[in-house]
Structure 1
Amino acid sequence: MTRYIGAPTSRVDGFAKVTGAAKYAAEFDAPGLAYGGVATSTIAKGRILRIDCEAALRVAGVIEVFTHENRPPLPDDDEAYKDATSPEGAPFRPLFDDRIMFDRQPIALVVAETSEIARFAASLIVVDYESEPHRTDMFRDLAAAIPLKAPSDSSQDAQFTPPKTRGRPDEALAAATTRHAGDYFVPIEHHNPMELFASTVVYEGDGRLTVYDKTQGVQNVQQYLCKVFEMRPEDLRVVSPFVGGAFGSGLRPQFQVMLAVLAARALRRSVRVALTRQQMYVLGYRPAMRQSVELGANADGTLAAIAHDALTITSTYEDFYRQETAWSGLLYKCANAKYAHRLARLDLPTPCDMRAPSAPTALFALESAMDELAVALEIDPLELRLRCYSDRDQNNDRPFSSKALRECYRQGAEAFGWEKRNREPRSMRDDGELIGWGMATGMWEALQMPIAVRIALGANGHAEVACATSDIGTGTYTIMAQVAADMLGSPLDSVSVKLGDSSLPQSPVEGGSWIAASVANGIATTAGAIRAELLRLAKRMPDSPFATAADSEVALVDGKLVTTGEPSHSALIADIMRHSGVDRVEQEKATEPRDDAARAHNTHSAIFVEVRVDEQLGVIRVTRVVSAIAAGRILNAKTAKSQISGSVVWGIGMALHEETLIDHRFGRIMNANIAEYHVPVNADIRDIDVIFVEEAHDANPLGIKGVGEIGVVGVAAAIANAVYNATGKRVRDLPITLDKLRL
């Protein structure tokens, strides 16, 4: 029997994507479809005194203009606008009132017969404002930053607030043989997925709605819209079969979906609202942060003390924050540690999760600081990490379910040739270029969430697997098909997958790298129920070889039900169904994660990087990366490698390219486009070698951890450390651009 789990399998949805058969949110059609164009504010804070839509309404083809003055009634309750991912505070409500809370805030929706007319008419809306002083500079008033308190118990806040102090860090720092202190800065970064955010709302004849939305969670969007518009879930279906990238920007329902539904209900016709690239810059972002890290080392190179302080930004109306300071307690053994985290409230949209939220930024600071400490101690950076290795989660004093990080270090270093590194800066050269080698550690969470899966197995051997989860480009369609094929004993091409539909069995949003573990184990649970039902039917057959067999003693193999102890005792699934008078067996089961809170669950990585720096121009090229990953059982070696390679590219962008620039005089983003917001292109990417380190993980039946985000963590730090090795210049302010090197 062919085994599919772990095999390097091509995407089952690949043909649909490359031929254009895969439809995205803005590609679904409907009779009489109207189009919405969004008008946005030109100030960062204040009130709308007057909004004049007359010129827009006079444009031929314009159907209606919605503003806060004439929009249909909406709830006056913050709770109605909260979704499963909302932070504390009052969510933004588009077109709710005359208040302006950030630049380019949506203030009107023009609905017209074509998208071109709608967008043009939106540009004709004239607005008079009463401006108020705004603050978009996180450093302008540091005294106003809000401190986050360490948790007093195991409450939900403990996930993101700083850990409790361990030991006596101040005394330990004072007594340390070697000390290092540094401030590290990461700017605002935006997701910039290829697919623009859009929603197509199909107005059914009886008032029901089908909403095609770009989202990472169709049921989350459905629940949000039902609350806002006081609709029943059976009257509002959300569909998102394909997503052209999201990386966290699609976790929350974005404002275009609410505006599209508002217009469709008011006009009783189908409406599409698609945002421009510029408008997507108000949908959320990785928050800017300054981190202060102080390390104290003993004479033997072990850590005596750690102090980690983070300042991050949020909006004035919601408190968004993630765990920026706790990662050291998971990576490095240190009896004395203290942490602090403050929030600067700015007149900007609320930040949101961006691939591996908090880990790439926190570990840029921590892993850069560890490299600087290694330089001060005059020892190899890898050796320092091995001396400080921790076998326990010190923040919560618990062991890891598995931690193969030592093997990541060993295999990654061997593949890279790390033993040949010269630690003296500017010592490696080639043809006018300075060569630098750097490394860093990566770490992310390994989570599983509650989920439900339905499987229908037909007498012809075809299986349909259904779950409301999303595929945001990570290969969820494919791994679902692989796991189902193995569990049902079917060929891969006999399995079809349905997902991205709110009417399907329950699923969380796709984020946090938890969907692979969640849905795969969910499929295993439901496949077990299918097997049990077939066994029940098989026992009714005359002279059944399964008369005394237990569930645990049978398996589905090559279209048959077989006893595992005696493979000759078997029956074709088709014969079992025919004898029972059924043409399909269907089961839907919910799967809960195992209760394993006594252990920490994480993925780990070791990243080794080579850079070449033009000594005359300061231009930096990343020429070689080795990323060794320990992430439990790998479901698909091909798509998993693609995930890690893509994450490495993202890390290169974080280190060398990406930066959202704000003109604080106006509170406006200056480079809200992908011409001036720089991201890596093909010419920036050279060799990326991905190694999957074998690792047993028993926290779930299939041993899965997930690989969506671990690949980006630590990459920026490894590049910064390599740049130092090449040039002798330590850059603590991302991105590392040639002007900061000053060679």
Structure 2
Amino acid sequence: MTTTTGTTAVTGAVGTAHSRLEGRDKVTGAARYAGEIPFAELAHGWLVLSSVARGRVRSVESAPVLAMPGVLAVLHHGNAPRLETAYTSVFGIPDPVLQLFQHDRVPYVGWPVALVVAETSEQAREAAEALVVEYDEQTHDVAFFAGHSGSYTPEGSETGKGDVETELAASAVVVDAQYTTPEEHHSPMEPHAAMARWDNGRLEVVDSNQGSRFVADELAKLFSLDADSVRVRSEHVGGGFGSKATRPHAVLAAMATTVLHRPVRVVLTRRQMFSLVGYRSPTAQRVRLGADADGRLRAVDHQSDSLTSTVHEFVERSADFEHAMYDATAHHTVNRVVRLDVPTPSWMRAPGEAPGSFALESALDELAAKCGIDPIALRARNEPDVGPVSGLPFSSRRLLDCFHEGSRRFGWADRDPRPGVRREGRWLLGTGTAAAAFPTLSAPSTAAVTAEADGTFTVRITAADIGTGARTALTLIAADALEAEPKRIRMRIADSDFGQAMIAGGSMGTRSWAWAIRAAAIELRAQLALGGGIPAEGITARSDTSAAVGALSQKERHAFGAQFAEVAVDDTTGEIRVRRMLGIFAAGRIVNPLTARGQFIGGMVWGLSMALHEEAVRDQASGGHVGADLAGYHFAAHADVPPIEADWVDDPDPDDPVGIKGIGEIGVVGAAAAIANAVWHATGVRHRDLPIRPDRVLLAQAAAGRDGDA
């Protein structure tokens, strides 16, 4: 169990460790996920994806497939129901991949071209693999690199303050370096799955998603239905990380059940997930830092290039990480994007901040070395009083407290700053650090709290627990708001019928839902105080936090953290082993220390995986992935993960009604940079391209002679 390092007393349910309410059901198999709930007369759909990167579908030879055993239908652009395409969702214009089978165009490898529906999953798969689709293929471009001739700057993607070029010219010390991160994929343990059926004139969907109300609203728009005519439930979700929004599998299940008038389930394969559910775009980033001899920053310039598809714009805003970090006379950030014949990227745990922190925090480490200043001292020297770009006051900013506590526990003071001097046999040893930050946001949500006649309380909110422990955290929040023991709270979530609520994303799910639950609980207590007893149907209070969110004071709100890592590098094989990691965070009010620690550590493991393993490779000739599965796409396994400690400092925000800042993503931020900085400290060679593979270590060592850059 993790405890806070501060001295604030913990009272009530919030702040005490509680095991997950659904934990036993999950480990015993009693918890059912979207792909395994039984339904009578259930049919199964299997997707057929394009094998060309650009072109048109010439023909779909469905007749032979329809004659195969168990096959019920083959849906494609020639026979599929028409969908509404001219609409805007909560997050803007939707990705056209949801407008399935509406035309014959193919914009990338992995674009859905047909759905085979059969009595069994095995029959559907066999038929789908036998389906012949002919294409008129066109020349494609999938090559991403900095300076691509097609790059452009989307509106609102460039910010500035002061004259960067003048300040760089006047700087005594300058860092000007390029950093790259590869394409990365979510790969949650539970694949995407959805069952759809019509029930008394209403479309019912059981899905694996991060926001049931959001999915229900989008399905209603696509199928031209009233919002109340669609119900989406998602009781248990085995990971999401940004990938489980409205995705093609749910649309196809709804389309197939409309055609066949029976329940249909569509489950994506691991390979299909590589093109259909989003991913993190590769980035090419240039960071320029200018400083006086004592390390005080005069200029920070962070430029980032990423890619998007030819059919939808998504920008990986890596350069935005700099906005909340360091004081300087002049700032400039820009996020550029290039359209290629590839699937559309999407939000992926710590979007923007994860790759952006690798570049900026590596560059800060390079500046510290050039100035001969300790990396933590350099950050302290450039600590801002207000938002470096916005000028807004911080609601709270305990970044330096995280570094002070982390350096004490990590033993940073004993570090020899010289690179490449510590050795144990063939192992070169090094330590590194980096800062973490993630914005604190909230969105309007609604909740209903019912006082039952038996003395218990039922909370209904369209929250989503994607493995984070949100169901348990919300129970603790409700218990304190109602001044009741947690065992008297019945938490019902993930049902679109419960009303509008924020999705589980952006590290603002629990924060947003907590506001709504607290407001409803306060109203209910006021009603109960009037007396009169509780009728059999109970007494219910409802809330809508739209006004409260809009009235929140204008301050710059972020969670912050300090990451530390120790690595050992084999100078004969190039193997890197992370020996230990420590993360200290200032993330507002910690609701459940037990699950919070798991979230922080999980994020840090992700950062380790990002630093050393994860890299999706695209074949330039075909336009598709090489090894689009968990055998070809490598990420950290148990043997790669060292002892990891995660803890926090007290971080109150007196203006915030719940005090939660969000913890789902900040653990990723800065972790890769801390490891990369540790590799430099171990070897004396700087690695600016992720992942830091053994072959890259050996090539860099040979080229630099352990005394240069890679």
Q: Same fold (TM over 0.5)?
A: yes
Equivalent pair of 2:181/2:355 in contact (CA under 8 Å)? yes
CA apart distance, 1:56: 1.3
When structure 1 is superposed on structure 2, of 689-698 and 180-189 the one drifting more is: 689-698
| 1:278 matched to 2:271 | yes
CA apart distance, 1:448: 1.6
- Partner Cα separation in structure 2 for residue 652 and residue 327 of structure 1: 19
> What secondary structure does 1:409 align onto?
helix
Superposed structure 1 runs of 4+ greater than 4 Å apart = 86-92
- Which digits, 9 at most, give the CA deviation of each residue in 1:18-68, with x for residues without a partner? 111211111122111000011111100001112111221121110111111
- Partner Cα separation in structure 2 for residue 272 and residue 497 of structure 1: 27
Q: 1:90 to 1:108 in 2, by over 3 A?
A: closer
CA apart distance, 1:634: 0.5
> What secondary structure does 2:696 align onto?
helix
Match of 2:5 in 1: none
- Which digits, 9 at most, give the CA deviation of each residue in 1:198-257, with x for residues without a partner? 1111332x3322100111111111111111111223322100011100100013x10111
- Partner Cα separation in structure 2 for residue 33 and residue 121 of structure 1: 17
Equivalent position amino acid for 2:479 in 1: A
Equivalent pair of 1:162/1:323 in contact (CA under 8 Å)? no
CA apart distance, 1:340: 2.4
When structure 1 is superposed on structure 2, of 692-701 and 305-314 the one drifting more is: 692-701
| 1:289 matched to 2:283 | yes
Q: 1:510 to 1:679 in 2, by over 3 A?
A: same
| 1:100 matched to 2:106 | yes
Match of 2:140 in 1: 134
Q: 1:303 to 1:140 in 2, by over 3 A?
A: closer
CA apart distance, 1:162: 2.3
Aligned pairs (5 A) from 1:710-725: 710-725=666-681
Which of 5, 11, 23 does residue 14 from structure 1 map onto?
A: 23
Equivalent pair of 1:593/1:700 in contact (CA under 8 Å)? no
Which of 178, 186, 190 does residue 181 from structure 2 map onto?
A: 186
- Partner Cα separation in structure 2 for residue 147 and residue 506 of structure 1: 34
Equivalent position amino acid for 1:162 in 2: E
Equivalent position amino acid for 2:188 in 1: P
> What secondary structure does 2:530 align onto?
helix
Equivalent pair of 2:567/2:678 in contact (CA under 8 Å)? yes
Match of 1:588 in 2: 542
Structure 2 unaligned regions, length at least 5: 1-9, 702-710
| 1:419 matched to 2:410 | no
| 1:265 matched to 2:281 | no
Equivalent position amino acid for 1:621 in 2: R
Aligned pairs (5 A) from 1:334-349: 334-349=328-343
> What secondary structure does 2:403 align onto?
helix
Q: 1:15 to 1:371 in 2, by over 3 A?
A: same
Match of 1:604 in 2: 560
Which of 700, 714, 721 does residue 656 from structure 2 map onto?
A: 700
CA apart distance, 1:518: 1.3
> What secondary structure does 1:24 align onto?
coil
Larger radius of gyration: 1
- Which digits, 9 at most, give the CA deviation of each residue in 1:662-709, with x for residues without a partner? 001110111210011001111111111111111111242121111111
- Partner Cα separation in structure 1 for residue 124 and residue 359 of structure 2: 46
Match of 2:685 in 1: 729
- Partner Cα separation in structure 1 for residue 49 and residue 103 of structure 2: 14
Equivalent position amino acid for 2:104 in 1: D
> What secondary structure does 2:685 align onto?
coil
CA apart distance, 1:368: 0.4
CA apart distance, 1:73: 2.5
> What secondary structure does 2:74 align onto?
strand
| 1:35 matched to 2:29 | no
| 1:235 matched to 2:244 | no
Which of 3, 14, 17 does residue 5 from structure 1 map onto?
A: 14
CA apart distance, 1:519: 1.4
Match of 2:427 in 1: 433
Match of 1:53 in 2: 62
- Which digits, 9 at most, give the CA deviation of each residue in 1:332-379, with x for residues without a partner? 100112222211101111110000110011110000000011111111
- Partner Cα separation in structure 2 for residue 266 and residue 603 of structure 1: 48
- Which digits, 9 at most, give the CA deviation of each residue in 1:618-641, with x for residues without a partner? 111111111000011110111000
Match of 2:705 in 1: none
| 1:78 matched to 2:72 | no
Match of 1:255 in 2: 248
> What secondary structure does 1:299 align onto?
coil
Equivalent pair of 1:412/1:691 in contact (CA under 8 Å)? no
Equivalent position amino acid for 2:56 in 1: R
When structure 1 is superposed on structure 2, of 88-97 and 190-199 the one drifting more is: 88-97
| 1:480 matched to 2:474 | yes
CA apart distance, 1:612: 1.0
- Partner Cα separation in structure 1 for residue 97 and residue 42 of structure 2: 29
Equivalent position amino acid for 2:264 in 1: V
Aligned pairs (5 A) from 1:634-653: 634-653=590-609
CA apart distance, 1:734: 0.4
Equivalent pair of 1:625/1:687 in contact (CA under 8 Å)? yes
CA apart distance, 1:299: 1.6
- Partner Cα separation in structure 2 for residue 197 and residue 326 of structure 1: 30
- Partner Cα separation in structure 1 for residue 281 and residue 467 of structure 2: 24
Which of 483, 490, 506 does residue 489 from structure 1 map onto?
A: 483
CA apart distance, 1:121: 0.2
Which of 170, 177, 182 does residue 165 from structure 2 map onto?
A: 170
Percent identity over paired residues: 38
Equivalent position amino acid for 1:54 in 2: A
Q: 1:603 to 1:166 in 2, by over 3 A?
A: same
Match of 2:583 in 1: 627
Aligned pairs (5 A) from 1:208-219: 208-219=202-213
Equivalent pair of 2:164/2:299 in contact (CA under 8 Å)? yes
Equivalent pair of 2:56/2:137 in contact (CA under 8 Å)? yes
Which of 168, 189, 192 does residue 197 from structure 1 map onto?
A: 192
- Partner Cα separation in structure 2 for residue 88 and residue 478 of structure 1: 32
Match of 2:452 in 1: 458
> What secondary structure does 2:533 align onto?
helix
- Partner Cα separation in structure 1 for residue 286 and residue 683 of structure 2: 23
Equivalent pair of 1:217/1:510 in contact (CA under 8 Å)? yes
- Partner Cα separation in structure 2 for residue 88 and residue 175 of structure 1: 46
Which of 297, 305, 310 does residue 311 from structure 1 map onto?
A: 305
Equivalent position amino acid for 1:266 in 2: V
Q: 1:229 to 1:583 in 2, by over 3 A?
A: closer
Which of 611, 625, 637 does residue 669 from structure 1 map onto?
A: 625
Which of 330, 336, 340 does residue 324 from structure 2 map onto?
A: 330
| 1:366 matched to 2:360 | yes
CA apart distance, 1:595: 2.5
Q: 1:712 to 1:602 in 2, by over 3 A?
A: same
| RMSD, aligned CA | 1.6
CA apart distance, 1:325: 1.6
CA apart distance, 1:86: 4.2
> What secondary structure does 1:203 align onto?
strand
CA apart distance, 1:91: 5.6
CA apart distance, 1:594: 5.5
Equivalent pair of 2:197/2:261 in contact (CA under 8 Å)? no
Which of 53, 57, 63 does residue 44 from structure 1 map onto?
A: 53
Equivalent pair of 2:207/2:233 in contact (CA under 8 Å)? yes
- Partner Cα separation in structure 1 for residue 129 and residue 15 of structure 2: 52
Equivalent position amino acid for 2:330 in 1: N
Structure 1 unaligned regions, length at least 5: 152-160, 538-575
Equivalent position amino acid for 1:7 in 2: T
- Partner Cα separation in structure 2 for residue 420 and residue 483 of structure 1: 42
- Partner Cα separation in structure 2 for residue 674 and residue 519 of structure 1: 34
- Which digits, 9 at most, give the CA deviation of each residue in 1:238-294, with x for residues without a partner? 00011100100013x101111111110111000001111000011210011100001
Equivalent position amino acid for 2:74 in 1: V
